[in-house]
Amino acid sequence: MEEDTPSTWRFGKVIIPPGAAITREGQITNNVTQPNAYYGVAWTQLASGSHKFTAALTQVATDPSPIISDALPVGTQVCWTLSLQPPSNQFAGWRHAATVCVKVGKKPKLQILGSDLWARNKIDTSTSVIGGVGGPKVFGSWVEFGAFSSKDNNGLASGAGFRNGNGNINQSGWSALTFANTLPTPPPIDSSSAFGNYSSDLPDAPEIAEHFGSRPSTNIAANSIDASILSSDKVNTRTGDLIITRSNFPLGKSVVIIVSGTVTIADNITYTDGPFNSLTNIPQLAIIAKNIIIKDAVTQVDAWLVARGNGVIKGTIKTCENPAKSSTACNLKLTINGPVLTDILYLYRTAGSDKYPDTGNPAEVFNLRPESILWAYQPGLGSTLPTTAATTELPPRF
């Protein structure tokens, strides 16, 4: 085209619903169709004008509303387009540039109820700032009580700080029970901004396997079993791997399983609810293994989960069998009712964290219910019942 001939340009945005293909993704196309017809009804013009291409064009316009709306569902793709007419003196039609797109994703959340969180390393979780009634709120993972970590705590709220989102964007506003008594190296300029770094030597984790290992045992012959049919009188052991199928524990049924390899939880494990007439009525399952894997269809696990390595190879717990590579994989909420102790915890679930107001819904919930503590207390009592020796009035949290 002639040097002094201006070209018309149009800058726009296309919003593609989840699962639909991006219009002309990655293509540069010449045709006679204007942008509104070329991209379809989803296209919105953001700016237009004309330009003489006597030099390189570095910028023609910006999106006046670049922030992705909270109302868009996960999987939505937002694409920006640029079209020129004419693009050269050899062609009088339109040239449509390759689209530039982003996809709306999610940041799954974790909730820990009824207990503290102890970590021998750093805690690093993500947060989301979402606009809503009353202004923006921060959502993220949280523990109901205290958070203790030997290194930095980045993003995890304590004291249920994210229970309904938090209007304070600073971590100090949602870390009321995040404990610290040392500073990282190098220390921050402002020591009040340091979270975590609770001592360099956290207490040793209890040796649960050794505690039960001194009891009489019986071998588990099958490699796949309903755990509720196993012995309550002896520790159930297996060399190798074990698959636990759907199991419902009646009142008074308590089972301890120790496996040298990997335990795969293939279906829900549940306890029968009370009323409990004595501590011996409380059903309970303790699973102790090198690795524990929970299948993606499982939504509830009522059990103690203990995964301990040998010091060289770490023990692991995976909340889904395979790492989630999309928001549609491992997308069922998982609730674990019982203590969890592991060298490494892989949180693979993608449930929750949807568009506002469901942004804070968790993918995984770890819930330490009181009956687990009472059950652990019971063996030392013999046939006696616990009695109250004294009462002290404390604030509700404590």
**What is the average per-residue pLDDT within 272-294?**
92
Residues 6+ apart with CB under 8 A from 28: 95, 96, 97, 98
Per-residue confidence (pLDDT) for residue 133, from 0 to 100:
65
pLDDT in tens, 137-163: 899 999 999 999 988 899 999 999 999
Reported pTM: 0.80
* Calpha distance 388→255 (Å, rounded): 28
pLDDT in tens, 95-108: 888 888 888 888 89
List Cα–Cα distances, 370 to 123, 299, 391, in angstroms.
Answer: 26, 21, 18
Residue 147, SS3? strand
In the chain, what's the furthest Cα-to-Cα distance? 100
With cut-offs at 50, 70 and 90, classify the pLDDT of residue 385.
low
Q: What is the DSSP letter of 21?
A: P
With cut-offs at 50, 70 and 90, classify the pLDDT of residue 258.
very high
- Bridge partners, 199 (sequence order): none
Report yes or no: 342 and 305 within 8 Å, Cβ to Cβ: yes
* Calpha distance 295→263 (Å, rounded): 11
Q: Which residue has the higher pLDDT, 243 or 57?
A: 243
Q: What is the DSSP letter of 377?
A: H
Q: Which residue has the higher pLDDT, 48 or 262?
A: 262
* Calpha distance 220→229 (Å, rounded): 11
pLDDT in tens, 336-376: 999 999 999 999 999 998 877 788 899 999 999 988 988 88
Give the residue extent of every domain in the chain: 7-103, 110-381
With cut-offs at 50, 70 and 90, classify the pLDDT of residue 74.
confident
Percent of the chain with pLDDT over 70: 86
* Calpha distance 139→144 (Å, rounded): 14
pLDDT in tens, 282-291: 999 999 999 9
- Bridge partners, 50 (sequence order): 8
Percent of the chain with pLDDT over 90: 40
**What is the average per-residue pLDDT within 240-257?**
96
The candidate with the shortest Cα–Cα distance to 93, out of 144, 6, 32, is 32
Q: Which residue has the higher pLDDT, 336 or 276?
A: 336
